[in-house]
Amino acid sequence: MIKVLAIILLALMLFVGRDRGLQAFLTILMNMAILAGVVLSIVYGANPLIASVIAGILLTVFILFYQNGNNLKTRVAFTVILAVLLVTFALGLLLCRAGDAGGYSEVKINLDDGLFLDGNVSLPMQQVEIGIILLGLLGAVKDAAVAVTSAVYEVHRNNPALLPSQLFTSGLNIGREILSTTMNTLFFSCVGESLLLFNIVCYWGYSFGYFLNSKALYQVFLFSGVAGVGCIISIPLAAFAMTVVLKRKEGRSDDKTNGN
């Protein structure tokens, strides 16, 4: 089934995007190879946090510079993504610790899911959770950062006389559209992935209070919620960084952009 679907996807991508489609497909293969590397290195004893941080940086470098080329826009976007990764890493760490988000949720334990698996894996599941939160938001954050930096760049190129604050605002305007559609995408992929969970919760008649406080909901919400937060902060950050870089490059003295 997977092979057939993959071939259909490849054919469609080639048909719709030709060389760009092929490039997108190759990017996916590359992502898979890097993720496989992460999984294997963790299985053979690497620290999950360190492994996922390194993989996150590597993936950003590959996807960004392979898909969008090496230029001023992507270099700024890269810095922004790294900054966002840092912030979301701290946020993920805090929230995972505070809510003990690692390991099997109570719903899974009640279901006897994975009963045949031994718990003595000597692998801190909380760190794994933080790692996957970090990797899971890469796509969305990269999408937002690149869209905003290239929009600001285009606006500047077409109209070099614009003030820094105007440039920043035009970046935010583009970000606005990206944000609501990305939130939509994240929401539906999150719902799509946890439909069975919601089904069980209704089926067994868990109370609202129980579900609200459950680890199962917390894991799902944390995964998409932190991605959403990363996306949100990347937009003003990207608009700001690109404006500063462009104005500084112009050699103007008034590059002290006010970030309103």
Partner 1 sequence: MDQRRQRILLAVLFVCAVVGYVVVDHNDRWYTSTIAVITDIQTEHTETQSGVSIGQENYYVQTISARLTNGARAGETIQLLNQYTDSGVRDECYAVGDKLFVAPGEDGEIGKIIGQKRDTLVYLLAAMLLLGMIAVAGTSGLLASLSLFFNIVLLTIALHCYLDGWNIFALTGVLILLFTILSLLIANGWNRCSGLAIAVTLLSIGMTAALFLIVRACTPALQYQMLEYAVVPDDLSALFFCEIMVGGLGAVMDVAISLISTADELLTRNPALPYEQLRHSIRTVSDDIMGTMVNVLFFTYICGGLPEILLMLRNQLTIPFVWEYVLSFELVRFLVGSIGLVLAVPVSQLVLKLWMDRRKEMQHD
Contact status: 126 vs partner 1 (CB under 8 A): yes
**Inter-residue contact 231 to 257 (CB < 8 Å):** no
Considering only residues 186, 238, 242, 245, which one is a binding residue for partner 1 as defined by CB under 8 A? 186
- Closest distance of CB 121 from partner 1, Å: 4
Considering only residues 77, 84, 135, 246, which one is a binding residue for partner 1 as defined by CB under 8 A? 135
Q: How far apart are CA 26 and CA 31, in angstroms?
A: 9
CB atoms within 10 A of CB 95: 19
Tokens 């293969």 appear where? 29
B/e letters for 163-201, b = 16+ CB within 10 Å, e = fewer, are ebeebbbbbbebbeebbeebbebbeeebeeebeebeebb
**Inter-residue contact 148 to 178 (CB < 8 Å):** yes
Of 92 and 156, nearer to partner 1 (C-beta) is 92
Q: How far apart are CA 119 and CA 62, in angstroms?
A: 35
Considering only residues 49, 76, 197, 241, which one is a binding residue for partner 1 as defined by CB under 8 A? 197
Contact status: 81 vs partner 1 (CB under 8 A): no
Stretch that binds partner 1, among 82-90, 110-118, 156-164, 249-257 (CB under 8 A): 110-118
Contact status: 124 vs partner 1 (CB under 8 A): yes
Considering only residues 87, 109, 166, 255, which one is a binding residue for partner 1 as defined by CB under 8 A? 109
Residues that contact partner 1, how many (by CB under 8 A): 118
Considering only residues 85, 225, 240, 245, which one is a binding residue for partner 1 as defined by CB under 8 A? 225
Site for partner 1 in 18-37 (CB under 8 A): 20-21, 23-24, 27-28, 31-32, 35
Contact status: 90 vs partner 1 (CB under 8 A): no
Q: How far apart are CA 258 and CA 260, in angstroms?
A: 6
